[in-house]
Amino acid sequence: KPVVLNGKLLSSHIKESIKKDTADFIKNSGITPHLVVIYVGDNKQIESYIKAKKTGCEEVGFRFTLDRFSSDITEAQLIKKIKYHSEDPSVHGIIVQLPLPENINRDNIIQAIDPKKDVDGLTSINMGQIMVSKKPLFIPCTPLGILEIFKAYNIKLEGKNVAVLGRSNLVGRTIATLLSQKDMSNPSIMGGANVTTFHKYSKSYHHLLKNADVIISATGVPGLVKKEDLKKGVILIDVGINYKEDSSKKSGYRMVGDVDPESYEKSIAYTPVPGGVGPLTVACLLRNVLKSSILHYRIQCSRLRAGVENNIVDK
Ligand code: NAD
């Protein structure tokens, strides 16, 4: 029987440890970590993702602010808002809830976030560090969550064939980059895998999935990964969040992943949807916010120290 990679349970352990670290941090620094979510629009589904972030913040003792705008906000106005939060010393993490309305250029918006507060890891500085640095500052939360699963279940990827479906910065491209890294000196980032990426322009690739020891699917195409395409003993990491009509549910729909559940029987381990990667994304976001708060506190302390030293020198 395949092992269910229980993201929900793992995320509650991670949140417990963040809660404890946060209480210590607040006691020592007097600073409460503070996440700001910027959201344009009124989509019920997206609002449920924001709610999960808010609940997560409350659970671990963070401050949470939702800065919400209607879709007629202009790009320039939104950039001004982001700059405002970037400069506010009481804010430690800023995320822009995606997608944005079409009249707004997503890249311009993301690049307006101070990279030291970019807890989603999407600014070019943070993305670039993933390529070149042994210790990137912020890694996007879903790839981080996937790494947490591999670590917790002791899944070793060195020399393994990993197929990544999807190539967004948020998920596919980033996890593919991390897992294929040649420098494996940072134990919190796994490298050494033989990674192949597939995307919507990849042609008839499904037979190639038979080579994969691990499949990570982040496409938003329900049922894309099918039983007949898999080798026995594969590990399935399903990032997809899709909704199917289901009259037996109160909401009228049911959440499904990219992986057809019939595939599970071919695997040795799989992440369910819901309850797999999703909860870990939130837990890793909280970890990034705490990391950012500690970083800001250290910068503040070193400025103070430098000020005191300058005063002594001046005397
Ligand atoms: P995206 O739309 O930015 O990217 C989708 C990717 O899938 C693209 O690179 C596209 O080329 C690829 N794709 C489309 N059809 C394909 C096909 N037939 N075969 C292979 N690749 C194909 O989306 P995203 O932000 O990367 O999110 C992907 C999915 O993951 C969505 O369902 C999203 O809701 C979900 N998601 C889940 C979490 C989580 O916490 N579980 C977090 C982020 C995203």
> pLDDT (tens digit, 9 = 90+) per residue, 161-214?
999 999 999 999 999 999 999 877 887 788 899 999 999 999 999 999 999 999
Rounded CA separation 154/142 (Å): 18
Atom of ligand 1 nearest to the CA of 281: 40
Rounded CA separation 5/270 (Å): 6
Catalytic residue check, 120: yes
Rounded CA separation 86/83 (Å): 5
Q: Which of 209, 241, 255, 280 should be mutated for ligand 1, with most atoms under 8 A from CB?
A: 241
Catalytic residue check, 97: yes
Q: In whole angstroms, how far apart are CA 310 and each of 151, 296, 305, 313?
A: 45, 21, 9, 5
CA 240 to centroid of ligand 1, rounded, Å: 6
Catalytic residue check, 117: no
Q: Left if phi > 0, otherwise alpha if psi is -120 to 50, otherwise beta: which for 126?
A: alpha
Task: Count CB atoms within 10 A of the CB of residue 52.
Answer: 15
Mean pLDDT of the region 40-48: 92
Mean pLDDT of the region 308-315: 78
Mean pLDDT of the region 226-238: 98
219 lines ligand 1 (CB under 6 A): yes
CA 220 to centroid of ligand 1, rounded, Å: 5
Q: Where in the chain is the domain with CATH 3.40.50.720?
A: 139-277
257 lines ligand 1 (CB under 6 A): no
Fold of 139-277: Rossmann fold (3.40.50)
Fold of 15-116: Rossmann fold (3.40.50)
ipTM: 0.99
CA 168 to centroid of ligand 1, rounded, Å: 7
